[in-house]
Amino acid sequence: MDKRLGSQSIVFEKPPVVAGYASIVGPKEGQGPLAGWFDEIIDDDTMGEDSYEKAERVLYRQATQMAMKKANISDDMMDLMIGGDLLNQIVTASFAARDLGIPFLGLYGACSTMAESLLLGSVMIDGGFAARIACATASHFSTAERQYRVPLEMGSQRAPTAQRTVTGAGAVVLARDGNGARLTGGTIGRVIDYGIMDVNNMGAAMAPAVAETISMHLIDNGFAPEHYDRIVTGDLGHIGKRLVLELLQERGFDLSERLFDCGCEIFSSGQNVDAGGSGAGCCASVLGGYLLRNLGGQGMHRMLFVASGALLSVTSSQQGESIPAIAHAVAFEAD
């Protein structure tokens, strides 16, 4: 069977099942509107570690362990961990994989990582190469700020277009067999660059890639937007969400009734977060919390999950480059 559809999309012949999922978030995310849906809200964003980087890898490891526990699968029964994070050389995911001892494939897709890991995890399972896989990612406000922006101690003023990196992790355990929500297919993104240079406006940099991936997904599959009860984007924030709606409208797709952006929803307007939440852990924790808990409930049977990443580095920006971005999509269904 050819599981390639159109130019960028794939379909799973034996859709992998969501056997377990989990989310952990930081204190500020735990004061937001989705607070009630996370498995755990931490009080101390150092997790008792002596650096924020070490705290981030504890978040990653614990979310993965929690998802495995809920799936009732022990470490030694797992075939694979697949994931990554925002830190240089993805040390969060790699060190978590060291601690858990499960075979590991490391990804880098910036904030698109959760969708990339679910895509590749589903490919491994549907292809017959694995039966149980943990897909995960994490981010931490205090590690991202100092790596990508400025030392926290400087107390710099933020641009109104800036988003706040979510402190949080999300994990999904995929299995070949069982009951639950299923992953039915997905779309692999291309790197799109509209020439945005402003590193404080990631929503604008990512919007064209998201619009491209969503429209390719709909075209490749022959779907109208109404096929999905909800189309979820990762962390466009308020500016990027508006741009995506416009870009899709230009292509003839009206998503205004069904677009849910995790970056817009994780914080409330009173939380002083400018354009919204961001970070690989943003859509991952919302997926492993609010979204998967509600999937299969009333009016929520089909969901397209589209995570996007800005593929810049500090060096590429310092060398005058624009900000390329990518978005990957995976489709979920639940009865």
List residues binding a copy of itself (CB under 8 A): 1-4, 7-8, 10, 13, 50-51, 53-54, 79-80, 84, 87-91, 94-95, 97-98, 101-110, 116, 119-120, 123-124, 126-131, 147, 188-193, 311-316, 319, 321, 324, 326, 328
Smallest distance, Å, CB 191 to a copy of itself?
A: 4
Say if residues 18 and 288 touch (Cβ distance below 8 Å): no
- When the beta carbons of 37 and 104 are compared against a copy of itself, the nearer one is 104
CA distances from residue 125 to 7, 9, 77, 98, 216 in whole angstroms, order as listed: 22, 17, 14, 22, 24
Smallest distance, Å, CB 13 to a copy of itself?
A: 8
- When the beta carbons of 159 and 314 are compared against a copy of itself, the nearer one is 314
Smallest distance, Å, CB 100 to a copy of itself?
A: 9
Smallest distance, Å, CB 269 to a copy of itself?
A: 31
- When the beta carbons of 51 and 268 are compared against a copy of itself, the nearer one is 51
- When the beta carbons of 98 and 249 are compared against a copy of itself, the nearer one is 98
CA 264, 159, 190, 285 torsion: positive or negative? negative
- When the beta carbons of 29 and 235 are compared against a copy of itself, the nearer one is 235
Q: Which among 200, 187, 101 has a CA at the least distance from the CA of 148?
A: 200
Smallest distance, Å, CB 318 to a copy of itself?
A: 9
What does 153-221 look like in DSSP terms, one character per residue?
GG-PPPPTT--EEP-EEEEEEEESSSSS-EEEEEE----B------TT-HHHHHHHHHHHHHHHHHHHH
Smallest distance, Å, CB 67 to a copy of itself?
A: 19
DSSP assignment letter at 248: H
- When the beta carbons of 90 and 114 are compared against a copy of itself, the nearer one is 90
CA distance 189 to 303: 18
Amino acid at 189: G
CA distance 274 to 157: 11
In the structure encoding, which two tokens stand for residue 169, read together? 């992790």
